[in-house]
Chains A and B, each alone.
Chain A
Amino acid sequence: EVQLVETGGGLVKPGGSLRLSCEASGLTFSIAWMNWVRQAPGKGLEWVGRIYSKTDGGTTEFAAPVKGRFSIARDDSKNTVYLQMNSLKTDDTAVYYCTTYDHHKFVNWGPGTRVTVSS
């Protein structure tokens, strides 16, 4: 059974930084395309970004609202993907979900970690 567990959420001031982690188990992590999806309070789902497997280039892609402020990295030896969030804004307040992406669908989801950006 695939399990994804996000950690690292919390309260941060505007302009601050936070790093989220997502540890995976039950899958061949090194070939997985890992994504982050967020959900602001009372709002819908918003795709944040993706990191491809190293065999597929290991590159990253981001949604326009976070491009240049967020980065994604992976450590295949730890089955973990990271979301580094810098220059945080109040609009970044959301629950952040880690997901696997396979053949154009989000297959497995973690329970999410809450990020609150507030002064």
Chain B
Amino acid sequence: QSRLTQPPSASGSPGQAVTISCTGTSSDVGGYDFVSWYQQHPGKAPKLIIYEVIKRPSGVPDRFSGSKSGNMASLTVSGLQAEDEADYYCTSYAGSKTVVVFGGGTKLTVL
């Protein structure tokens, strides 16, 4: 069972903005600025899209943004496009020698 809680699904129309939450505790999300987000299209490997809460790797569109408040991190996808339809997963550092935990994943549907 994931220690990081994500909604199972989210949806939005093209051009709209959608926000996906990732809720943890003060021992992980709330305690460190090391939340990362991954995008996975069906049948493909995951891809890093946000790291250290707000940073984007080179090549990731600025339509993707991250934030954090207390024990909850969020991924916002602005100006939704059909290609954004995918599964999204969060992770958070929780201290050295701790196991890595992924959120349960959120399926984003572009209506």
Contact = CB atoms under 8 A, between A and B. Distances in A.
Interface of A: 35, 37, 44-47, 50, 61, 63-64, 97, 103-107, 109-112
B102 interface: yes
Contacts, number: 58
B89 interface: yes
Contact of A47 (B93, B97, B99): B99
Contacts of A110: 45
B48 A61 contact: no
Interface of B: 2, 32, 34, 36, 38, 40, 44-48, 51-52, 57, 87, 89, 91, 93, 97, 99-105
B36 A111 contact: no
Contact of A106 (B36, B87, B104): B36
Nearest to A107: B48
A106 B46 contact: yes
Given A44-B2, A45-B38, A104-B34, A109 B47 contact: yes
A106 B91 CA distance: 9
Contact of B46 (A45, A61, A64, A104): A45
A110 B47 CA distance: 10
